[in-house]
Structure 1
Amino acid sequence: MAKTEIRLATLEDAKEIYAIYEPYILNTVISFEYDKVPLEIFQERIRKISFQYPWLVYTIDGEIAGYAYCSLHRERAAYAWDCECSVYIKDSQHKKGIGTALYKALFELVQAQGVYNIYSLICVPNEGSVALHKKFGFTEVGTYYRTAYKFNEWRDLLVMEKHLRETEGAPGKLIPVNELEKDFVKEVLKKYV
């Protein structure tokens, strides 16, 4: 039986994570990037995001099969309690529950950090991604029509949102992921594999 694990990503994972991401850049409209990303730049993305939010990897026998992370939704201070989520699965590992497991752990961690709202921006049509987000209680907020140009066509971007808590009164300070209690983080990561 295969050994599965969800854990926090490290900079040493960048090459393996990027190997999953690159086909999304080069072959799909799921990513709006056009070109390959140099490894150093991709490592810097992981470092910058992981400073504040969880970046999780799902491994099977030590090999990364998928990853998910939350990142800053908007830069202005008043948006500090919102984040944006992303999940990418290795092509050979789709339809095995990896995205669901990653999202369960990811959303529990960001809720513990004090996040109120999670957003997902999806190039449509993308029935699989829309269904996954609806499964987690995301609702459609609106669409940016013909907002991105890739593969010789203008693309629409669906915005979905999920509320993690009621927005009454002033929010508390957002806790960086590395300041969450270590035992709590370990428990969450073990819970969903």
Structure 2
Amino acid sequence: MKIRVATPDDAGEILAIYRPFVEHSHTSFELVAPSLTEMQNRIRDTLPRLPWLVGVDPQGAVCGYVYASRHRERAAYQWAVDTTAYVREDMRRTGVGRNLYAALFEQLMALGYYQAFAGIALPNAASVRLHEAIGFESVGVYRKVGFKLGNWHDVGWWQKSLLQAQGEPQALREFNATLRNTAKLIVP
């Protein structure tokens, strides 16, 4: 699998992976799948500051994606991100998610981020298993915080330290300015 920076041109394949999670499960709390234009805009809006990576199979098709977003708006949170990963159904349990996250963590550390968080709508044993296997630790649960498909759902939160938090942090680097053009990653 090759891992590279996503482009707005990948939005159709990304949306094909994501849409079933929106329409048929509680995994995503979106109630309506975004349009192609909205997904293109999400990618375009993320990339100047944070990475959005895709895994590409040997045939050149997107088989999964991972990205980071702001954890919270207030300035003291700026060194923390939320992370999200989705894998094409036929590629689950093949290492795609794990490899995408490894590449994302490498990029986030180079940018100066210290903490990564993942919110998982529960129950979701596969996502919990993946996140714990790559070093996330459970830090709490928001009880009955989202209503979807006729039920209230909890959201569990997991945290992974990326850099050792000691002393005053350095200024964050922007993904576009420092790494975007060099993030042509190959994962065996």
| TM more than 0.5 | yes
2: distance between equivalents of 1:90 and 1:137?
A: 22
TM-score (norm 2): 0.95
Structure 2 alignment gaps of length 5 or more: none
TM-score (norm 1): 0.92
1:15 matched to 2:5: no
Structure 1 ranges of 4+ moved more than 6 A = none
1: distance between equivalents of 2:33 and 2:126?
A: 24
* Structure 1 residue 62 displacement after superposition: 0.7
* Structure 1 residue 117 displacement after superposition: 0.2
1: distance between equivalents of 2:168 and 2:157?
A: 25
Matched residue, 1:26: 23
RMSD across aligned C-alpha pairs, in angstroms?
1.3
Within 5 Å, which residues of 2 pair with 1:15-164?
A: 15-60=12-57, 61-164=59-162
- Give percent identity, aligned residues only: 39
1: distance between equivalents of 2:157 and 2:181?
A: 34
2: distance between equivalents of 1:30 and 1:55?
A: 19
1: distance between equivalents of 2:63 and 2:118?
A: 21
2: distance between equivalents of 1:11 and 1:77?
A: 29
Structure 1 alignment gaps of length 5 or more: none
Deviation per residue, 1:4-48 (Å, 9 max, x gap): 311000011111111111011001111000112121111111111
2: distance between equivalents of 1:6 and 1:185?
A: 9
**TM-aligned CA distance change 1:17 to 1:182, over 3 Å:** closer
Q: State the one-letter code of the partner of 2:9.
A: E
